[in-house]
Structure 1
Amino acid sequence: MAWLERSAGSTALADADDAKADAIKTAAMSKLWNPAVGAYGQSSSKPDVLVEDANALALQYGFVPAGKEAGVLAAMKTLWTPYGAIMGPGLQDPTGHTIEPFANGMETAGRFASGDTAGALDLMRRTWGPMIDKKNPLYTGAFWEFKNSTGGVNRATASLAHGWAASPSVQLTEQLLGVTAVSAGYQSWSIAPRPGTVRWASGAVPTAYGTIKTEWTSDPKSGRFTLTAQTPAHTTGTITVPVGRNSVITVNGHAAKDFDSRAKTSGGSVVLAVPGGTYQITVSQR
């Protein structure tokens, strides 16, 4: 809400929303954080009961204290099954509502936000892989409302085309492909892929100013990464590419040193601030 207010509403209301968010974060830490578990408990009356959604959202929105993220990720992984993560002890529905794609989508988002791309994609494959398998008897060409503990559905009213299970559509676009809006309508944008072990991605994002098209390839063995982006005129953005200690970077055929005034290094990556246009960036090893 603070972002929306700053983009299209009242700065004062945005500041109030920020203050409210800070108060919620402080309360969550004081009432729900369980240091023995290394994660957040279900409630102040059930601090030892681990639940997926609350911990996932805490990671996604930066509630978890610095340095504690790995512990929360490990705690949530204890809820995993071959078919996805269960909601948490005591929360399973006796009619079969055990693995909830809605909450699993929160966890994949939290893992992406924490830099655990491999974990996010692993859980995504477990949860949604069977849904897109055309040989699966439950295949509908859409995402399911929930699954039971054996990966099936045992409630006659279960939806097999459910909007709340569609988080991979957003996350594969924003996290794997890497395209996100920074300001309203994508007037400013960010392209920051999280490739993990994925070899390539390609996609297009329609915006109020035109379509952002991007594709990238990644070879973890050689360390070579290439990205091509076409972005609308009259917009600005940042392009982030992964780098190593001995990386050589070229932008549109020119050495990246020519762009030093607009580039900065951050956590194993280079961030290039650019106006709208077409860019081909190559990262290779010396």
Structure 2
Amino acid sequence: MPSQPIIARQAPEAPAAAPAKRRSMLPHEHGAWGQLAMPLLTALAIARPGAAAWLLTAAVVLAFVAHEPLLIVLGQRGRRAVAEDGARARRWLAALGALTAATGLAGIALAPPAARLALLLPAALAVVVGVLVWRRLEKTVAGEITVAAALASAGYAVALAAGAEHPAALAALLAWILAFGAATLAVQVILVRVRSKGAADPGRRHAVLAGLLAVAAVALSAAGLPGALALATLPTALFSIVVCLVRVSPKRLRELGWALVGSSAVTLVILVVGLR
């Protein structure tokens, strides 16, 4: 009998490995986006922004976006990030640095003297934040509040560049610093509770501190700054006090995050209505 042809059975090819997802060069901290956006929106809404204010806003946002590539280049995201994405991060950093310089210098040239002087505050705070990042202290309570103050301070210069009166710009700045400070206290309480599994709880201490921030806002308004400062700080301060004193399940962290966004939105509305 003729031999039957033998058909070789080939093993099925292994599926090709999916390409590794490229690391995003945008800042990963969602809260920081809000800490930047809310004060800038306030600054633009309480005045009539022109070219100077918009250019300074663009420079601030570009500098913020450059934060993530800078962390990679400095090795703050780990050795693997440097090895895999260091070259790309350096390209991003160079491009963002050039755009920040171009928009920033143009905005400074067009801005009034008061706005130029106000830029010294975010510049000084940026140096402090850089030191905290270098020493890996930016995630402490003091570090988080300093970062929030640095982000909020950019809105101060933008508001003045947009033509806002100095008391209004200063009230907006202080309201956001105090509100973000109160929010940071609440978030830190939740993190400590989760990490220690309830063994540590700074809730009462942080509730007192949040209360003192609210008192400071009231005192500043009583001293002559617009009343919107006190009213705008209260929603987030009260929210922080509740979170600090009530043990919230870790399963409800998403709801707490949205509640914090809501309190910030209320602060924004109060400031715009009260300071415009």
Give TM-score scaled by structure 1 length: 0.29
Higher relative contact order (CA closer than 8 Å, sequence separation 6+)? 2
- Would you tell me which structure has more helix in proportion to its own residues? 2
TM-score (structure 2 length as normaliser): 0.30
Q: Whose strand proportion is higher, 1 or 2? A: 1
